[in-house]
Amino acid sequence: MNRQYIKKLSYIFSKPLPFKVLRYFSDENFIFPFYHLVSDTVPLHIKHLYPVVSRQRFLSDLDFLLKHFNPATIDDVLNYVRNGKKSEKPLFFLSFDDGMRECYDIIYPILKQKGIQAAFFINPAFVDNKELFFKHKVSLIVEKLKNTNAHHIFSEISGILNAPNAHPERLTERIRQLGYANQAEINKIGVICACDFNGYLKKQQPFMTLEQIKELNDLGFHIGSHSFDHPEFRKLDEGQMRLQVAKSMAYLTKNINPGVVTFAFPFTDFEVPASFFNYLHKEAGIDITFGTAGIKKDPEIKHIQRIPMEEAGMKSAERVIRSEYAYFWMKLLFRKNTITRR
């Protein structure tokens, strides 16, 4: 049985229970939902990555959260970590990854109006639309391939991917799986598909500018690091991981100088060794780090797991958070709700 299936099953079993009961018995009172963007149109650089939350959905998510939890500040998060991750009051703290332009255009005005603080985790490489995130490039390529049946395009791509005679669907699947280390291939495939990444970047401006980020900081929102250019940390060696953190922290210190120093792992912290957490919290001077594993107990005292809110098939915050709590219970039964690291 896969994770999604168990989650769905837990959700169905939990349905007769009032939300309060579910939350109370989980003993996890402080939750950390995170998103990337909110938009009524689906940008092509996101279309093939994850579902885009509409403005209406976001507003009803906030209504649900505000009904069952109090909004927290970054100082509350710091206290929570200092108190051994215990919270008397039900609290939520929102965060938004990748520094997308919609954070400035759509999200912050809504949060400001509702009096909710949040964190924005940024990648210095993308700020000011200097560079397109490789995953965004993949989404643009997949979109192009969906609308073509030109044989020569697929045959050139199969050459680059070393997959002779592979079926177009199989090639598209391979492209979706390309990672940080395959950026040369992604760029070559982009050329073959006539994806003008730089033109797209200039025209769409998918990311916030430094000026906008500074404005959010001045308005009392928290700005944290999401690594320099969003690699998969589990595929890096310790030196490369340190460099990603150091470069992004130097940028943040120079431009924002946040009072609380935070780092949200790009993608996931899965398979990152305990020694690196030790480095982040003890040597690199990072106050709080964040992962994306949902509601889960984490032995790292300064590390918090967040809840991904943009999961396919999950149409509301209630649905996502109910599933998380129910799944947490289920894992509790099988003693699988605590993360272990080598």
Sites of contact with Zn ion (CB under 5 A): 97-98, 266
Is residue 165 within 8 A of residue 158, CB to CB? The reply is: yes
For Zn ion, which is the closer residue by CB, 97 or 131?
A: 97
Least CB distance to Zn ion at residue 13 (A): 32
In whole angstroms, give the CA distance from residue 27 to residue 8: 21
For Zn ion, which is the closer residue by CB, 158 or 182?
A: 182
The CA–CA distances, whole Å, from 219 to 112, 142, 211 equal 9, 38, 12
Least CB distance to Zn ion at residue 325 (A): 24
Least CB distance to Zn ion at residue 227 (A): 8
Least CB distance to Zn ion at residue 19 (A): 29
The CA–CA distances, whole Å, from 97 to 21, 36, 126, 151, 287 equal 31, 5, 12, 37, 18
For Zn ion, which is the closer residue by CB, 7 or 136?
A: 136
Position with the least CB separation from Zn ion: 97
For Zn ion, which is the closer residue by CB, 28 or 229?
A: 229
For Zn ion, which is the closer residue by CB, 190 or 308?
A: 308
The residues facing 338 across adjacent strands are 297
Give SS3 for 336.
coil
For Zn ion, which is the closer residue by CB, 28 or 97?
A: 97
Instruction: Give helix 134-146 / helix 168-176 axis angle, nearest 10°.
Output: 160
Least CB distance to Zn ion at residue 120 (A): 11
Number of other residues whose CB lies within 10 A of the CB of residue 159: 12
Least CB distance to Zn ion at residue 139 (A): 13
Least CB distance to Zn ion at residue 30 (A): 22
For Zn ion, which is the closer residue by CB, 128 or 318?
A: 128
Q: Long-range contact list for 50-55, CB < 8 A, 24+ apart?
A: 50/310, 50/311, 50/312, 51/310, 51/311, 51/312, 52/310, 53/309, 53/310, 55/106, 55/110
For Zn ion, which is the closer residue by CB, 98 or 298?
A: 98
Q: Is the dihedral of CA 163, 165, 167, 168 positive or negative?
A: positive
Least CB distance to Zn ion at residue 98 (A): 4
Residue among 322, 108, 321 at smallest CA distance from 220: 108
Residue among 90, 35, 82 at smallest CA distance from 325: 90
State the Rg of the chain over Cα. Answer: 20
